Homo-oligomer: A and B are copies of this chain.
Amino acid sequence: MDHDLDLSADPAALTAALVDIASVSGEEKPLADAIERALSAAPHLTVHRDGNTLIARTSLGRAERVVLAGHIDTVPHAGNFPSSLNAERTRLMGCGTSDMKSGVAVALRLAAGVREPNRDVTYVFYDCEEVAAERNGLGRIARNSPDLLEGDFAILMEPSGGDVEGGCQGTLRVAVRAFGTRAHTARSWMGDNAIHKAGAILDVLRDYLPREPAVDGLRYHEGLNAVSVTGGVATNVVPDACEVQVNYRFAPDLSPEEAIAHVQSLFAGFETEVLDVAPGARPGLDAPVAAAFAAAVGGVPRPKLGWTDVARFAELGMPAVNYGPGISEIAHTPGEYVELAAIAACESRLRAWLET
């Protein structure tokens, strides 16, 4: 079934229409098709498609170009599909309302409605953000057609409660392993208990004082946590191996290499293996274009502690921020919702910034 989107509908109605076209990661085609049809009707936009990712650009020869990007996929439904309004008709409830079809609705309305923006704009609607990083549509475009993402500044419409959230922290996961020697527990002194030795790994974690550095004027808050521990052979065997997986969330003043070296130094004496790492992104609010944006939309910029795709723009050398009407704390929960007033406020601030 083909779905038609009315980009002239009010932003709450458009959000509901977007939510009601199911687009769990990997199944975005019906929604991508609908967005492509709607954007292709706007003569001031040039539209590119790559899989289920759409890119629509103005080409007015402006001095600056900004990128507005939002992912169109959601996590799996959790009894919260399709959308519904609360009794007071102030909130739209359902899967993807906050994360982040309300942001997508704002971007679509700006794309269709702001025909002569004061800055050239590249709108990006991409797939597979909620799944493994290698499937991420924005990453695919950055690899295949980085020129399509060029610009002076990027705004990722992740849920940020209507405030500017600058940059993001990096994330590193490392396996830290202790080894021993097996023995029957009836003669345990013949062995060397690897789980007991892993106590020294937990000592490091218990004693660790996380940094809270200021980066480009925003104060971040790191964390170093065991996220899993496994060990044991059988109920009567002294175990010879124990693994603690440690997740280090690091402020964007550290590179991934520096973060890895830091964790390895903390666990010197143990085997370590880097399982995955994603760089952070500096908030970049000292760049004039970013500072001008923050001033235009108002509020006090906050640091983004979670990892988001702003890091992909940072890797392309572009300052980027998170700015969207959704609420990050309730994303991925069955009770996800968005305030209708927040959608309208986000749109009007961005529209003012692009039109005046």
Binding site for B on A (CB under 8 A): 169, 171, 173, 184-189, 193, 195-196, 198-199, 202-203, 205-206, 210, 221, 223-239, 242, 244-245, 247, 249, 305-307
| Cα–Cα, bound, A222→B242 (Å) | 23
Asked if B239 contacts A226 (CB within 8 A), the reply is yes
In contact, B235 and A195 (Cβ under 8 angstroms):
no
**A171 / chain B contacts, CB cutoff of 8 Å:** 185-186, 236
**A227:B223 contact, CB within 8 angstroms:** no
- Contact present for A235 and B227 (CB under 8 Å): yes
A28 to chain B, nearest CB (A): 23
* Chain B residues near A227 (CB-CB < 8 A): 185, 195, 232-239
Let me know if A196 and B186 touch, CB within 8 A: no
Give the CA-CA distance A230 to B227 in the complex, in Å: 11
Check B185–A249 contact: CB distance below 8 A.
yes
Q: How far is the CB of A241 from chain B (nearest CB, A)?
A: 11
26 cross-chain CB contacts under 8 A:
A171-B186, A185-B249, A186-B307, A187-B305, A188-B249, A195-B227, A195-B244, A196-B206, A196-B225, A198-B202, A198-B229, A199-B202, A199-B206, A202-B202, A225-B238, A227-B232, A227-B237, A227-B239, A228-B231, A228-B232, A229-B231, A229-B232, A229-B242, A230-B230, A232-B245, A236-B247
Residue from A227, A233, A237, A307 having most chain B Cβ neighbours under 10 A: A227
Q: Which 7 A-B pairs have the closest CB atoms?
A: A228-B232, A199-B202, A188-B223, A195-B226, A186-B306, A186-B305, A185-B247
Least Cβ distance of A174 to chain B in Å?
11
When C-beta atoms are compared, the residue in chain B nearest to A243 turns out to be B229
CB of A277 to closest CB in B, whole Å: 12
